[in-house]
């Protein structure tokens, strides 16, 4: 990378137009001559002429607003997204004829990236031969409104626009080949074509990288089975349909029985009427109303003790009859309750205090059926639940099967533990080591070119960034968040997607049961279900941010610039 210092502030950048145009913008005497030669020397026409003459993107197809949008669409295809972001943030701050001279600190701020990442992107542009940087003087307006000259670094992307122009011509070619994986086999047969298209990122992915995502599995079709296997499947389907019909019929009968029971509860009651017959079938005689309240005259002392008058004898018989009737009614009640308890399964207390159970007993519904109709369990289900509880109690004393953990790199554990002991609370050592292991295992799953050397290089750069900038970030107690800031720098350096960040916030990276593929599929399926059932009105990116905020227990939502599609198997560009 060669830097040359331009001493003249009015010297134009290569590829941005003739020198007279640059002089016109800066205000040299040549602008007066050009204006005097115009037919309509108004400010509006001068500005329109300047816009027509100046094209900072060099080629005519990129001129104007529509051309700029077209150039952006091409660069998104032929550049990695990180390089496109850096170019875009530089280009929108480039005045026509002045060159892109925004500082690295400014671009890092608007890109939400660290300065080291911007320097890496500029170096990548230079290594690809798409950027030339030089020193030049430019007028800068200070905070108090005055202007002064400042030495800046001008970024010249003329070679990048040449590459975009070449892609434009290739897309208009009669033998154009779309960047699709099914065309890769044809492209590699022509060495010159392969070398030409390899400079475009959209072609490099399909030519040099493996196809991302889970591996395809063979689908089972009915025409690949024998007739005997299909007949067996058809018979099983008939049996399943018959079982479903029986279950549906049983459900309908239960609903009818519930309805009949609710109607009978309003009409019948065991204690609602008094029986008028004893157990021998004889009717109980009714007491005459004329005999109620009858008084009997006292007998004289002259009557013999063993003799009773007709009136005394009649009163005695009436008293004995009343006692016999009362005992009979009590016997009927006790026998009825005992019969209900022995036959239907109800207790005397339930029949006495629960009107619904009395009505159920009146229509012949047993206690077990009544419990089943009200959503309870029958005797068999209660017995099975009791057996399961006994088995569970018996297994409580036995050790449970643990999840199969990934093999933890010893160097990662010891290095992170030593770093945390130096800069963080010793009580947080275990959680910090766990976070480092999650980053290590996730990067190992995501990146095809991952290695321990790459991990330790990023760790060293993150430590340097934390030592330099972490003092600006403190927790609620006013303590510097050096270790958390270092982990955040590592996550930014790996350029994880939102799905990969969610995967790291769980315990799954530490174990072998679930992979990143499973988490991505689960997230997509969950969002589709919630969106279709109107459980959320957020788009997919906002929904992922909300999930991350809840996993990180944030009180306020956080804005993240991470991509939303996990490209598993990609190559990390360092």
Measured distance CA(434)–CA(413) in Å, rounded = 9
pLDDT > 60? residue 137:
yes
**What are the pLDDT digits (tens) for 310-355?**
555 655 665 555 555 445 444 444 444 444 445 577 887 777 778 7
Residue boundaries of the structural domains of the chain: 5-17+55-171, 179-208, 265-282+312-393, 410-551
**What are the pLDDT digits (tens) for 192-209?**
999 899 899 999 988 888
**First CA to last CA across the chain, in angstroms?**
18
Contact 460, 85 (CB under 8 A): no
Contact 212, 569 (CB under 8 A): yes
Work out the number of other CB atoms within 10 angstroms of the CB of residue 63. Answer: 19
In this predicted model, which residue has the larger pLDDT, 277 or 190? 190
| Per-residue pLDDT, 262 | 67
User: Lowest-pLDDT range, 241-245, 541-545, 554-558?
Assistant: 241-245
Average pLDDT, integer, range 1-15: 39
In 129-208, DSSP assigns E strands to 132-141, 147-156
Per the listing, tokens 């779309």 go with: 178
Which strands form 147-156's sheet, in the order they lie side by side?
Answer: 5-6, 132-141, 147-156
Contact 366, 344 (CB under 8 A): yes
Measured distance CA(551)–CA(539) in Å, rounded = 18
Confidence category of residue 5, pLDDT binned at 50, 70, 90: very low
| Per-residue pLDDT, 318 | 58
In CATH terms, is domain 5-17+55-171 a member of 2.40.160.60?
no
**87, 131, 156, 564 from 78: Cα distances, Å:** 13, 15, 18, 20
Confidence category of residue 6, pLDDT binned at 50, 70, 90: very low
In this predicted model, which residue has the larger pLDDT, 499 or 380? 499
**What are the pLDDT digits (tens) for 421-454?**
888 777 888 889 999 999 999 999 888 888 989 9
| Per-residue pLDDT, 434 | 92
**106, 251, 286, 314, 352 from 561: Cα distances, Å:** 17, 54, 95, 107, 70
pTM of the entire structure? 0.35
| Per-residue pLDDT, 475 | 60
């Amino acid at each position: 990378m060669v830097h040359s210092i331009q001493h003249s502030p009015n010297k134009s950048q290569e590829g941005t137009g003739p020198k007279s145009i640059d002089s016109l913008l800066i205000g040299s005497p040549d602008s007066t001559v050009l204006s005097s030669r115009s037919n309509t020397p108004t400010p509006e026409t001068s500005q329109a002429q300047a816009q027509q003459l100046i094209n900072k993107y060099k080629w005519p197809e990129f001129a104007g607003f529509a051309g700029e949008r077209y150039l952006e669409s091409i660069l998104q295809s032929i550049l990695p997204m990180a390089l496109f972001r850096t170019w875009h943030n530089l280009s929108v701050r480039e005045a026509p004829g002045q060159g892109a001279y925004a500082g690295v600190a400014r671009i890092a701020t608007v890109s939400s990236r660290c300065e080291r990442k911007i320097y890496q992107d500029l170096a990548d542009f230079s290594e690809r031969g798409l950027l030339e940087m030089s020193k030049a003087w430019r007028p800068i307006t200070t905070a108090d409104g005055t202007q002064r000259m400042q030495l800046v670094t001008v970024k010249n992307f003329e070679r990048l626009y040449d590459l975009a122009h070449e892609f434009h011509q290739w897309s208009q070619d009669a033998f154009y080949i779309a960047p699709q994986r099914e065309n890769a086999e044809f492209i590699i047969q022509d060495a010159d074509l392969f070398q030409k298209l390899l400079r475009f990122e959209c072609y490099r992915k399909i030519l040099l990288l493996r196809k991302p995502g889970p591996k395809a599995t063979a689908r089972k079709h009915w025409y690949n089975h024998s007739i005997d296997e299909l007949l067996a499947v058809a018979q099983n389907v008939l049996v399943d349909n018959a079982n479903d019909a029986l279950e549906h019929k049983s459900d309908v009968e239960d609903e009818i029985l519930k309805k009949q029971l609710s109607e009978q509860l309003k009409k019948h009651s065991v204690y609602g009427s008094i029986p008028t017959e004893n157990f021998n079938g004889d009717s109980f005689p009714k007491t005459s109303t004329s005999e109620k309240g009858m008084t009997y005259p006292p007998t004289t002392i002259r009557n013999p003790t063993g003799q009773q008058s007709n009136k005394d004898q009649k009163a005695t018989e009436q008293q004995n009859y009343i006692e016999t009737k009362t005992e009979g009614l009590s016997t009927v009640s006790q026998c009825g309750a005992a019969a209900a308890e022995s036959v239907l399964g109800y207790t005397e207390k339930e029949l006495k205090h629960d009107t619904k159970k009395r009505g159920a007993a009146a229509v012949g519904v047993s206690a077990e059926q009544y419990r089943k109709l009200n959503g309870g369990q029958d005797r068999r289900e209660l017995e099975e639940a009791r057996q399961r509880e006994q088995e569970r109690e018996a297994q409580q004393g036995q050790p449970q099967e643990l999840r199969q953990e990934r093999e933890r790199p010893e160097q990662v554990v010891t290095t992170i533990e030593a770093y945390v002991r130096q800069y963080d609370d010793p009580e947080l050592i275990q959680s910090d080591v766990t976070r480092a292991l999650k980053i290590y295992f996730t990067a190992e799953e995501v990146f095809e070119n991952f290695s321990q050397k790459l991990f330790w290089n990023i760790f060293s750069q993150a430590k340097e960034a934390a030592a330099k900038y972490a003092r600006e970030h403190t927790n609620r107690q006013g303590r510097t968040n050096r270790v958390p800031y270092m982990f955040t720098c590592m996550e930014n350096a790996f350029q994880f997607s939102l799905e990969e960040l969610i995967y790291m916030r769980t315990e799954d990276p530490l174990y072998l049961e679930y992979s990143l593929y499973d988490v991505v599929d689960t997230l997509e399926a969950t969002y589709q279900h919630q969106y279709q059932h109107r459980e959320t009105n957020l788009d997919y990116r906002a929904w992922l941010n909300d999930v991350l905020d809840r996993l990180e227990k944030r009180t306020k939502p956080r804005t993240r610039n991470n991509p939303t599609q996990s490209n598993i198997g990609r190559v990390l560009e360092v």
